[in-house]
Amino acid sequence: GAGVSQSPSNKVTEKGKDVELRCDPISGHTALYWYRQSLGQGLEFLIYFQGNSAPDKSGLPSDRFSAERTGGSVSTLTIQRTQQEDSAVYLCASSPHMGSQYFGPGTRLTVL
Amino acid sequence: AQRVTQPEKLLSVFKGAPVELKCNYSYSGSPELFWYVQYSRQRLQLLLRHISRESIKGFTADLNKGETSFHLKKPFAQEEDSAMYYCALSGGYSSASKIIFGSGTRLSIRP
């Protein structure tokens, strides 16, 4: 595989709609991370998976945000009832056990 | 609380001048520290990690536990070093764990 991929690359949605963002990690990487990067801000940790389980969900901003990972591979981040403040670039990264993170290109979400 | 502080949003230096990007951290334990870099229109990528003790693209960073710092240094800046740099902290050496990023410093190298 070429690396971590994310889809869609851009998503424009209306306030109140639900969105799903997808991350395909590098094959064999056990850990998967989601971050949010808002304009002028750093990277905000959202959640990480070790295998299919999420030991730390403390970064999810509200109960409108959820994520899952199946088969130790693909992960989806779901945002329900989107708000304008959800507009950001959502980054996914994966890493092998004890390894450094490899980032995807991100999904730019715009909530109108 | 775990925290990574990068006090400079923007650092501008002339080509050939030394560069130091500051990073301070707060963590109760033995963290692992990283520097990540994002060049224009490219994805975020690892530059170096403290346990490797490497020099990558002429950059080095030393972990100073007394000052809780992990400043990134390069003796002679090059134009291609212009990018966004993020300092990051992880609590686990032996397994995946939450990673905290600083707010980033934009490095601009003037010709």
Ordered mean pLDDT values, 10 residues apiece, chain B (111 residues):
91 97 90 92 90 84 92 96 94 65 95 92
Compute the CA torsion angle B26, B22, A104, A54 (nearest 10 deg). Answer: 0
* Residue A107 near residue A79, CB atoms below 8 Å: no
**From CA B30, how far away is CA B89, in angstroms rounded?**
10
- Pairing state of beta strands A65-69 and A75-79? antiparallel
Confidence of residue A12 (pLDDT cuts 50, 70, 90): very high
Strand partners, A28: none
B49 close to B68: Cβ distance less than 8 angstroms: no
Question: Which of A36, A95, A57 lies closest to B92, judged by CA?
Answer: A95
Residue A24 pLDDT level (bands cut at 50, 70, 90): very high
pLDDT of A97: 66
How many CB atoms are located within 10 Å of the residue A17 CB?
A: 12
CA pseudo-torsion sign B50, B53, B57, B58? positive
pLDDT at residue number B55 = 81
Mean per-residue pLDDT for A48-52? 89
- The β-bridge partners of B59 are B56
Query: What gap in Å lies between CA A82 and CA A66, rounded to an integer?
Result: 12
pLDDT at B8: 94
Compute the C-alpha angle B108/A89/A66, nearest 5°. Answer: 145
A43 touches chain B (CB under 8 A): yes
User: Which of A43, A47, A91, A97 to substitute to test the interface with B, most B CBs within 10 Å?
Assistant: A43
Please indicate if any CB of chain B lies within 8 Å of the CB of A106: yes
Type of residue numbered A48: Y
Closest CA to A52 of A75, A35, A34: A75
Query: Which residues 30-59 in chain B show a CB within 8 A of chain A?
Result: 34, 43-46, 49
CA dihedral over A45, A51, A54, A55, signed as positive or negative: negative
Q: Is the CB of residue B91 less than 8 Å from the CB of residue B27?
A: yes
Please, what is the end-to-end C-alpha distance for chain B in angstroms?
40
